[in-house]
């Protein structure tokens, strides 16, 4: 493995001095805090929101470390996974010179973050079976390629990417390979987190927005080698995870049974919905899913999308995306919501 972080990181990132906050400079016990220009009277709210939050979110990381069986120093927390995607691009990619590889149809933020940073995006379409086109990938990697983004289970197709192909990329690409496992809790596949010790170039992203049901709190998790974590901490905004999020996440993480129960229901409902959608005359395909949604190909998907909207049911119209022509992405709802969707779809009369 030729992964050499020193050669991969942008010179300005290596050379810069990070911001040092008041909370960074003092971390012992004290009773009077006159170091951060905070309001000593508290606030109108009962919690200690007058104080800046822990910039390194140590308590949250400790708890996540136990749950994920990864040392705390391998964890970075972002304001959603989206923050981590942006930071990674800014650490590794020289604007106007470097490129990243993505495999569409996939999650849109890899491309958006690259473009915000004036970084070229090389798109290598998935195969019609929604797997990696390994030959095309090999041909597309060049000396300017700095990051490869793989989403598994993939959004919007729902399937997992072949483990063997991911391993081939990890073994052969010299730069960071970002594996986005946002939907891993709904999958029968194993997470790559245990492989962190084997691949120094592996970066795994997960989120509390899906299975943990905390999309509104914005907490994305990134697991990587400590030197990569240090770089992310070096350039992030000092207080990227607010106090309310840190407090509430600590409470939520104690409720793993809640999460496991709802994962089980969602997976069961997914298979049931898949079967029922397949039976509709105008359904052309329901693709296999390892996530909390189904990609469904339907005759005149645009018309069906508008029909569902008119009945107050909103799904995601993916029909104008390559390989997803006439496809809707449907999030698995509660049993009642899924039943309502089916009842409404049965009222739809194809022209
Ligand atoms: N990755 C994938 C594949 C996603 O689908 C999403 C959200 N739809 C995210 C990341 C973003 O997660 P977060 O809410 O943590 O920013």
Give 286-301 pLDDT, tens digit per residue: 999 999 999 999 999 9
Residues 269 and 162 in one domain: no
pTM: 0.97
Q: Calculate mean pLDDT across residues 102-116.
A: 98
156 and 108 Cβ atoms separated by less than 8 Å: no
- Residue 144: pLDDT band by 50, 70, 90 thresholds? very high
Domain membership of residue 73 as a residue range: 5-254
Q: What's 67's domain CATH number?
A: 3.40.640.10
pLDDT digits (tens, 9 = 90+) for 54-83: 999 999 999 999 999 999 999 999 999 999
Percent of all residues in the chain with a pLDDT value above 70, rounded to a whole number: 100
Given the CA of residue 183, which atom of ligand 1 is nearest to it? Answer: 3
Candidate from 64, 80, 106, 241 with most ligand 1 atoms within 8 A of CB, to mutate: 80
Residues 320 and 274 in one domain: yes
Residues 123 and 271 in one domain: no
Residues 196 and 341 in one domain: no
184 lines ligand 1 (CB under 6 A): no
Percent of all residues in the chain with a pLDDT value above 90, rounded to a whole number: 94
pLDDT digits (tens, 9 = 90+) for 200-222: 999 999 999 999 999 999 999 99
The mean pLDDT of the chain is: 96
Residues 55 and 117 in one domain: yes
Output the residue whose Cα is nearest ligand 1's atom 1.
182
- Residue 155: pLDDT band by 50, 70, 90 thresholds? very high
Residues 212 and 271 in one domain: no
Whether the per-residue pLDDT at 1 is higher than 60: the answer is no
Whether the per-residue pLDDT at 339 is higher than 60: the answer is yes
Q: What's 289's domain CATH number?
A: 3.90.1150.10
Residues 212 and 90 in one domain: yes
Give the pLDDT of residue 28.
80
Residues 265 and 319 in one domain: yes
Other C-beta atoms within 10 Å of 333: how many? 16
* Ligand 1 centroid distance, CA of 151 (Å): 10
Q: Which of 225, 254, 283 is the last residue of a domain?
A: 254
Residues 239 and 314 in one domain: no
Q: Which of 202, 232, 254 is the last residue of a domain?
A: 254
Q: Which of 206, 228, 254 is the last residue of a domain?
A: 254
Given the CA of residue 207, which atom of ligand 1 is nearest to it? Answer: 15
Beta strands 177-180 and 220-223, pairing class: unpaired
């Amino acid at each position: 493995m030729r992964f050499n972080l020193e050669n991969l990181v942008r010179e300005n990132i290596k050379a810069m001095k990070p911001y040092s906050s008041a909370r960074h400079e003092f971390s012992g016990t004290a009773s009077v805090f006159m170091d951060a220009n905070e309001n000593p009277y508290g606030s109108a709210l009962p919690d200690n929101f007058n104080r800046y939050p822990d910039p390194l979110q140590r308590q949250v990381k400790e708890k996540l470390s136990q749950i994920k069986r990864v040392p705390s120093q391998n964890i970075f927390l972002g304001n959603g996974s989206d923050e981590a995607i942006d930071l990674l691009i800014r650490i590794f990619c020289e604007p106007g010179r470097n490129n990243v590889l993505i495999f569409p149809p996939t999650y849109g933020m890899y491309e958006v973050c690259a473009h915000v940073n004036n970084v070229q995006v090389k798109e290598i379409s998935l195969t019609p079976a929604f797997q990696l086109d390994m030959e095309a990938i090999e041909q597309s990697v060049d000396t300017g390629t700095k990051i490869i983004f793989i989403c598994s289970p993939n959004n919007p197709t729902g399937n997992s990417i072949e483990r063997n192909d991911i391993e081939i990329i990890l073994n052969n690409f010299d730069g960071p390979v970002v594996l986005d496992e946002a939907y891993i809790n709904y999958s029968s596949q194993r997470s790559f987190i245990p492989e962190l010790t084997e691949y120094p170039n592996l970066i795994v992203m997960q989120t509390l927005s899906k299975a943990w049901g905390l999309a509104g709190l914005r907490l994305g998790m990134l697991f990587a080698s400590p030197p990569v974590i240090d770089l992310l901490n070096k350039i992030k905004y000092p207080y990227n995870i607010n106090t309310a999020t840190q407090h509430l996440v600590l409470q939520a993480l104690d409720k793993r049974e809640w999460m496991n129960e709802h994962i089980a229901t969602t997976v069961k409902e997914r298979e049931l919905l898949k079967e029922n959608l397949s039976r509709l005359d105008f359904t052309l395909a329901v693709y296999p899913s390892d996530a909390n949604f189904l990609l469904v190909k339907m005759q005149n998907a645009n018309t069906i999308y508008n029909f569902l909207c008119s009945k107050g049911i909103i799904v995601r119209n993916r029909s104008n995306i390559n390989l997803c022509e006439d496809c809707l992405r449907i999030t698995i709802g509660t049993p009642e919501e899924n039943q309502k969707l089916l009842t409404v779809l049965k009222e739809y009369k194809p022209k």
